Amino acid sequence: MPKRVQSPSSINLYKQCPRRYFYQYILKYPTKENIHTVRGNVVHEALEKFFDIDVASAKIGKENYTKEFSMYMKRLFDACWSNASPRFQRLGLQSESLEHYQSDSMQMLANWLNHFFADIKTELDKDILFDVAFQKLKPVALEKSYVDNDLMVRGFIDVVHQEGEDIILIDYKTSKSSELKDEYMLQLGIYAMLYEKEHGKYPKKVGLWFLKDRLITINVTPKLIKDALFEVEQIHIATDSASIGEYPKKESGLCKFSTGQCDFYDLCMKQR
């Protein structure tokens, strides 16, 4: 069976439950959106568009940047949330629940913005111009896609920062936890590996911006990339078959939970 292009999410899904991987990636059964994915898309979109602003044309400077950026982010978020309205309606949530997620999402952006303000102040304290400080903090790339056709693996990196000669790869997270779990370490390792494959050098750091908390970065090491390469090789071996028997169920709390259930829960339970 020919190899299929893998990603951090597909590899982690296989590790959670091979049977779910089989339904989603082998049989390609459709999956449903949920509030976490939709609101995550909205938050990511607002953060991506934030750096489109022309601070000179908007007359933003060291005297008014906190007020102007706060208003700008609020307008961005409201527009992105409104554009996603049909997707939210299809979820069928109660209005109170949707309002909770809307407020919670805006709080994440406000938290990110407060950290951004602190970074700007640090730069301004070096006695440099405001637009120079903003450009220094502006990512060199957003939503960057990397694909390695030899390894058959891809990744979508939210933010690529450059500090001098050093590159830092960042992914935004809207999850409750701000712990660098194993699945996150795999994701970061694959990002570093893909960057090194394309550019011929390691990024200096990789990290996750937990929007409810803070940015956490780690140094890129040969071991981080070696571990990621091992997982990529293993997933290709494990998914070489198209037989359902090669993809056992792994029942856990991810099968059915307080706010929903796995997209393939009913199908799985019928096949017990």
Q: 6 - beta bridge partners?
A: 153
Query: What is the reported pLDDT for 233?
Result: 96
pTM over 0.85: yes
Helix, strand or coil, per DSSP, at residue 145: strand
| Domain positions in the chain | 8-31+139-266, 35-137
Buried b (16+ CB within 10 A) or exposed e, 91-112: bebeeeebeebbeebbebbebb
User: What is the reported pLDDT for 148?
Assistant: 95
- pLDDT in the model for residue 42: 98
Q: Helices H, strands E: what count in the chain?
A: 10, 7
Structure tokens that stand for 122 in this block: 């640090």
The per-residue pLDDT for 271 is 67
The residue ranges of the chain whose pLDDT is under 70 are 1-2, 259, 271-272
Q: What is the CATH number of domain 8-31+139-266?
A: 3.90.320.10
Q: What is the pLDDT of residues 244-266, one digit of tens each?
A: 999 999 988 888 877 678 999 98
